Amino acid sequence: MITYNAPIDDMIFLFEKLRDNKHYNEIKKYNEINSNLARDILGQAAKITENLILPLAKAGDDTPCVLENGVVRTPPGYKKVYEKFIQDGWTSLTCDPKYGGQGIPKTISIFFDEMLSSASLSFKLYSELSVGAYNCIFCHGSDSIKKKFLPKIVEGKWSGTMCLTEPICGTDLGLLKTKAIEQKDGTYKLSGQKIFITSGDHDLTENIIHLVLARTPDAPSGTKGISLFLVPKIQVKEDGSLGSKNKVSTGSIESKMGIKGSATCVLNFDESIGYMIGPKNKGLNSMFTMMNLERIVVGIQGLGISEIAYQNALIYAKERKQGKSNNNKTTNGADLIIDHVDIKRSLLNMKSIIEGERALSFWLAQQIEVSLYHSNNKIKQEATDLVSLMTPVVKSLFTEMGMEITSDAMQIFGGYGYTKDQGIEQLYRDNRITPIYEGINAVQSIDLVFRKLFISNGHVIEQYIESIRKEIKKNQSEIKIKPFAEKLNHYLEILVNFTNWIKTNIKEHKDNVSAACNDYLKVLGLVAIAFSWLKVLEVTYKELKNNKKFFENKIETANFFFNRVLPRIDAYYNSAVSGSKYIMNFKFD
């Protein structure tokens, strides 16, 4: 059976030693958020994820959601644990105290997101979309809408969804057909069908608040004619109490490869009463508040599932005996498989990627907070641009690495890994959605190269590269860190050359650039992880004597990453700059 221990020591290490963003530390409201509070929150988070939520993963896979008489029933145990979950205040963690939230920064909540993803991604999705809906309404809703809907969402009594996709459109939202007709009282009646709606219906909350993209009759075509509407499952009276059922129905729920405990619904809107959120025809801009943060969280899902897959593969490798290792540890019988070089290589590959990703996500969490709350608008904008640059990287790289890691974890289990008894194959199936939803990874790489690289005329990527150069220069005089800094410098120059190659080709040879997008995202992502590792190493060598075992482990793990993972960049770059002729000149029969 699958086990899980939240990696609190690694998380607290990052929170204590790598909170080095000057602008983040200038946000006054977080002055009292110290290491003791972080440790207490993460300790409580570990208890609920390890003891109550982890068992729900198998329960949800064995007994998926069902649609009965128009209502979705969640798997056994979900309702009881969800009641405990909201009673303990986990849905309110990062929300504004004005609406009942706790105001905890993402530098802590991002670790909780990872824990939840490790324990049960299906269960996590019910509250995850609610937080996304909260963020969207908080940023774009009117004061009356916020007052009416946010407190119950923050409390966890009501949940939220994001309704974009239709049978006719997924990535290309400009094709959507759902209509919204304005009424005399200022409300709208929405009609249409939405598909693949995560947590579209369930029995965990009293109400579900749908955020729906639709068109008004006079809207221009394409994405410029999309508006955003809040459509409650049950209508809400002016005093905040529940009224009559709205005309929203669940047509079906999807039978999926994984995350079976999460209800993925087809929703029908039949003149459903809704309220416009944000300006008319600017709905996609409003929804991006929810989507962009959600994409980062999806990356964290990949990280969380990678962590639990690694933990269980390591346990198994320490118990399973098979064959003779090169060093022949036993005189009679077989050696533990962890003594075989390739098994150890596979485990170190997982570990070095996971710890690097966690450090990168913590760096990004600081940037997000600066982009939202810093008092200086110029500093906020620079942080916003960096977050925009790294969002597709974290979403895509973390989830693809998650596929690699869960696959390798299954491989370590051998034939047992392919059976349901061990539970490792479920992690592979659950993670498989992460490179797909919230914008498939191929589209994320296109978004990165064709849009994000040229924010402020390319200033954002130049700024990021310059920050890495400064870190390298700072560490080149440190004898122990110098080899890592020099390796990163080598691959940073490849990133620079790759970026210049894209700038040269993007106007007249767009097929070349399109064919290189995926490789560029991976190169930037690996450089970003190595940059994070360098910052970790800088602290590690200073703190080595305080916790020798912990920090020597860090150094050895970093050595593996810099020597065995980072060189993948060579292959990505060489493949990309070969151009598109070997692709586009091929004729399929």
Average pLDDT over residues 300-313: 98
pTM greater than 0.85 (yes/no): yes
pLDDT at position 331? 61
Average pLDDT over residues 180-205: 97
Q: With beta carbons less than 8 A apart as the criterion, state whether 409 and 343 touch.
A: no
Q: Give the residue carrying structure tokens 């075989």.
A: 340
Q: With beta carbons less than 8 A apart as the criterion, state whether 274 and 163 touch.
A: no
Q: How would residue 100 be classed by pLDDT, with cut points 50, 70 and 90?
A: very high
Give residue-wise pLDDT tens across range 408-462.
999 999 999 999 989 999 999 999 999 999 889 999 999 999 999 988 888 999 9
Q: How would residue 199 be classed by pLDDT, with cut points 50, 70 and 90?
A: very high
Task: Report, at the CATH architecture level, how domain 288-576 is classified.
Answer: Up-down Bundle (1.20)
Distance CA 111, CA 114 (A): 5
pLDDT at residue 541 tops 70: yes
Distance CA 133, CA 287 (A): 9
Distance CA 287, CA 285 (A): 6
Among 439, 427, 525, 444, which Cα is nearest to 117's? Answer: 427
Q: How would residue 201 be classed by pLDDT, with cut points 50, 70 and 90?
A: very high
Residue 438 catalytic? yes
DSSP 508: T
Average pLDDT over residues 566-580: 97
Task: Pick the range with the lowest mean pLDDT from 283-292, 294-303, 398-407.
Answer: 283-292
By CB neighbour count within 10 A (0-12 exposed, 13-18 middle, 19+ buried), where does 59 fall?
buried
pLDDT at position 287? 82
Q: How would residue 403 be classed by pLDDT, with cut points 50, 70 and 90?
A: very high
Q: With beta carbons less than 8 A apart as the criterion, state whether 438 and 287 touch.
A: no
Q: Give the residue carrying structure tokens 């809703």.
A: 141
Cβ-Cβ contacts under 8 Å for 543 (sequence gap 6 or more): 17, 551
pLDDT at residue 572 tops 80: yes
Question: Quick one: residue 579, left, alpha or beta (phi over 0 = left, psi -120 to 50 = alpha)?
Answer: left
Partners of residue 207 on adjacent β-strands: 158
Average pLDDT over residues 42-63: 98
Give residue-wise pLDDT tens across range 344-393.
999 999 999 999 999 999 999 999 999 999 999 999 999 999 999 999 99
pLDDT at residue 329 tops 70: no
Residue scoring higher pLDDT (19 or 323):
19
Among 434, 408, 445, 453, which Cα is nearest to 519's? Answer: 445
Written as six digits, the tokens of 307 are 């962590």
pLDDT at residue 1 tops 90: no
Average pLDDT over residues 268-296: 90
DSSP string covering 374-427: -S-HHHHHHHHHHHHHHHHHHHHHHHHHHHHHHHHHHHHHGGGGGSTTTSHHHH
pLDDT at residue 334 tops 90: no
Angle at 266 between CA 260 and CA 267, to 5 degrees: 130
Distance CA 47, CA 31 (A): 26
pLDDT at position 41? 98
Percent of the chain with pLDDT over 90: 88
The catalytically annotated residue of 294, 438, 471, 538 is 438
SS3 298: helix
pLDDT at position 448? 96
The helix or strand, by DSSP H or E, that contains position 463, with its residue range, turns out to be helix 459-475
Q: How would residue 296 be classed by pLDDT, with cut points 50, 70 and 90?
A: very high
Cα dihedral sign, 90-96-100-102 = positive
